[in-house]
Structure formats: C-alpha cells, structure tokens
Amino acid sequence: MLSLRLLTKYGIHANLDKKKVRALSSFQSARKGGKMNTIDLIKSRTSYRGTYLSTKVPREHLKLIMEAGLAAPSGCNKQTTRLIAVDDEDTLAKLHEVIASPLGETAPAMICVLAKKIIAYRDRCYYIQDYAAAIENMLLAIIDLGYQSCWVEGHITDTDQICRKMADILEVPNDCELVCFLPVGIAEKECQKAVKLPFEERAWFNKFGGR
Ligand SMILES: Cc1cc2nc3c(=O)[nH]c(=O)nc-3n(C[C@H](O)[C@H](O)[C@H](O)COP(=O)(O)O)c2cc1C
C-alpha cells in the first residue's frame, strides 16, 4: 500500500474517507462479456495502484497501446513524444530498484514516456501537451485491452529525479527527457474510482457559470 503521505500528495486522499466507490474495472466488466462504448470507457478510466497478476502482456498489445499514444495530436504535428515499452524482467527489476515504490511494482510491463523538446514555432514548444495527449490515449487503450494502469509522473520527477536514473538504465539519449511511466498489467484487485467534482462546478454553457 502507498503511504498516506503519497496518497495525500497525489490527491487521492478523498478516496480514503469519503464513501468508497467500488467500481468494477473494465477488465472485470470485459470478462463478464461485452466491450464498452468509447464514452463509457473514458468515464470508467481510473488510476489503479494495486497489485497486478503476473500474466504477461503480449508484445502485440504493447504495440497497440503505443500506437494509440503516437496517434495523439501534437502541437504543429511535431510529434515530440517517444515511448519505450519494457517487458524484460531484469530491466523491470532495475527500474523498480530506482523507482523505490510499490506503485506498479508487480506489473509485468511498463511504458516509459519520453519527451523531446522540439520547437513548434518561434519559441513555442508543446512537448508537455503532446505527451499528456499521448498518455491519455494510452491509458484508454490499456483499459480497452483489459489492463489497468496509472499515470506516474509526480513520483519520478520530484527533487530526487528518479526519472534520470530510469533514463540511464534505458539508455535514453540526452535530447530526450523521461517524464512518466505507465505500469501495464491485469489488475489483481478491484479499482477504486476517484471522486470527481460535480459537472456544474467545472463545466458550463455559453459563459463561465452559465446553465
Ligand atoms: C501529471 C500527473 C502526474 C501524476 N503523477 C502521479 C504519481 O506520481 N503517482 C500516482 O500515484 N499518481 C499520479 N497521477 C495520477 C493522479 O493522482 C490521478 O489521475 C488523480 O488522483 C485522479 O484519479 P483518476 O486518475 O483515478 O481519475 C498523476 C497524474 C497526472 C495527470
């Protein structure tokens, strides 16, 4: 389990005290038969921080997930995002040694997201938006294929710069920055859906606050 400090840091504490919403993961609903439509799939996505089954993720699936990521829009189509899928046990072990967190530790694969700071125009560089779009596409593809994941960026880009140690292990060149990793695997436990603010507090029609 993650420590309370980490849970609080990443805004997950709401889950601990508020009513526990035990949502079946898409994997579990997929197991019961029937694929979700796109809107339901998007709404069902949630960060999974539990343990994973040891079942391997086939390369075809890792490729499909990465293709979904690379299909994302990018500023001026500069395609600044690069991806490395890791499914080699020794490499995973080395990465988790530096990650030093139970987060995704049991997942049989992970996708590391790299950003290349290519200028879009003038001094504008959209690499953050580009990789964020790629990550969301991948998270949705991961769920669609019956796996679970979590966007892990805060933990590895904090002051201790775990991301740099991970980049060294993966022989990432200097012009790319490792910014995030996504564990990929079949969830062993049920997902707990994060509590979101009501629609009316965050989205409106025609003007700020408009109904
Ligand atoms: C930029 C960014 C960084 C994140 N970093 C972490 C992280 O380091 N560790 C973690 O457990 N979750 C991380 N998350 C996941 C968020 O905590 C999660 O998306 C949020 O609590 C909402 O929950 P949901 O994904 O289930 O909707 C990150 C998400 C984003 C967008």
pLDDT along the chain (211 residues), means of 10: 36 34 41 75 97 98 98 98 98 98 98 97 96 98 98 97 98 98 97 96 98 92
Distance CA 34, CA 190 (A): 18
Distance 67 CA to ligand 1 centre (A): 22
Residue 4: predicted pLDDT:
35
Beta bridge partners of 16: none
Residue 10: predicted pLDDT:
39
Residue ranges of domains in the chain, CATH in brackets: 4-192 (3.40.109.10)
Give the residue from 166, 51, 56, 50 showing the smallest Cα distance to 113. Answer: 166
Q: Is 196 helix (H, G, I), strand (E, B) or coil?
A: coil
Substitution site in 6, 151, 181, 202 for ligand 1 pocket (most atoms within 8 Å of beta carbon):
151
Distance CA 45, CA 53 (A): 19
CA 191 to chain CA centroid, nearest Å:
14
The residue nearest atom 31 of ligand 1, judged by CA position, is 151
End-to-end CA distance of the chain: 42
Verify whether ligand 1 is closer than 6 Å to residue 102 (CB atom).
no
DSSP state of 122: T
Verify whether ligand 1 is closer than 6 Å to residue 47 (CB atom).
yes
Could you tell me the two tokens for 192?
A: 């707990």
Residue 34: predicted pLDDT:
67
